[in-house]
Amino acid sequence: MCAASHTYQFPRPAIAVDCVVFGYSPEGLHVLLLKRGVEPFAGKWVLPGGFLHQGESGDEALKRLLLEKAGIQKIWAEQLYTFTNPARDPREQIISIAYFALVKSMDIEPVAGRDTVEAQWKLVQSRIALGFDHAEILQTALDRLAAKLRWQPVGFELLPPKFTLSELQHLYETILRKSIDKRNFRKKILAMNLLDACDEQVTAGSGRPAQLYRFNAKKYKELSRQGFHFEL
């Protein structure tokens, strides 16, 4: 008996992997978008993505695609949701396993690829119209990011390794869309003992120089195993 005799022998939808890549700067939260050079949606902005190859896991495909499309190598990413609406691609049914990713720096040079004429970081708040169902995917990612930020130390993935408390607070305020009391924020985050003060200070133009901190991932893992859970 053939080993594959019980698998599904009818036409199969194609499988895409798309990724919402977030980047942060003092201006606000950004998404990496590509301008399509080919139909459908030629000239429209879309999320970076591509097809899942056979023998590849979703995570592997994601890694390959981010490297191909944006030259991004090391990155925090996790699966977001799988979009299966048969009408989401006008050509034929293509299901999309969507991921979302956080980069520490927007310095990466997004390179336009084969089907892409341009790549740019766009402010989330600019609400650019997107091709396919990518607006829905982006919204799902935004909701997830805000929820995740509250319960898991993912904010640090959007900042350089060393950052000031003001930068961190501003990031939280931006993503959670609310202002936070400076003293309470500092008290709470420092009380967790997950930030190590560096031997450095940084001065940002004017004003008193700020202490730089570094997130201690090791300590976080240790505490997590002991039942601690992050909350902000």
Partner DNA sequence: GCAAAAGTGTTCTTAGTACACCCATGC
Partner DNA sequence: GCATGGGTGTACTAAGAACACTTTTGC
Alpha-carbon span 98 to 87, nearest angstrom: 16
Question: Would you count residue 203 as binding DNA (CB under 7 A)?
Answer: yes
Question: Interface residues for DNA in 169-188 (CB under 7 A)?
Answer: 181-184, 186-188
Compare residues 27 and 78 and give the one whose CB is closer to a copy of itself: 78
Which does residue 53 bind out of a copy of itself, DNA, none, counting CB within 5 to 8 angstroms by kind? a copy of itself
Triad 154, 158, 160: Cα angle to 5°? 120
Question: Interface residues for a copy of itself in 74-133 (CB under 8 A)?
Answer: 79, 81-82, 84-86, 89-95, 97, 115
Rounded to a whole number of angstroms, the CA Rg of the chain reads: 20
Report cis status (omega within 30 of 0) of the bond before 86: no
Triad 92, 98, 100: Cα angle to 5°? 155
Question: Would you count residue 231 as binding DNA (CB under 7 A)?
Answer: yes
φ, ψ of residue 68 to 5 degrees: the values are -60, -50
* Shortest Å, Cβ 210 to DNA: 4
Compare residues 18 and 167 and give the one whose CB is closer to DNA: 167
Which does residue 206 bind out of a copy of itself, DNA, none, counting CB within 5 to 8 angstroms by kind? DNA
φ, ψ of residue 163 to 5 degrees: the values are -150, 160
User: Percentages helix, strand, coil for the chain, rounded to the nearest 5?
Assistant: 30, 30, 40
* Shortest Å, Cβ 79 to DNA: 29
Whether residue 170 contacts residue 176, with contact meaning beta carbons closer than 8 Å, is answered with no
Compare residues 78 and 181 and give the one whose CB is closer to DNA: 181
Question: Would you count residue 8 as binding a copy of itself (CB under 8 A)?
Answer: yes
Compare residues 10 and 218 and give the one whose CB is closer to a copy of itself: 10
State whether residue 103 is helix, strand or coil: coil
Whether residue 98 contacts residue 139, with contact meaning beta carbons closer than 8 Å, is answered with no
Question: Would you count residue 204 as binding DNA (CB under 7 A)?
Answer: yes
The Cβ of residue 95 has, within 10 Å, a number of other Cβ atoms equal to 18
Interface residues toward a copy of itself, by CB under 8 A? 1, 3-4, 6-8, 10-16, 38-39, 51-59, 79, 81-82, 84-86, 89-95, 97, 115
Binding site for DNA (CB under 7 A): 164-166, 181-184, 186-188, 201, 203-211, 231
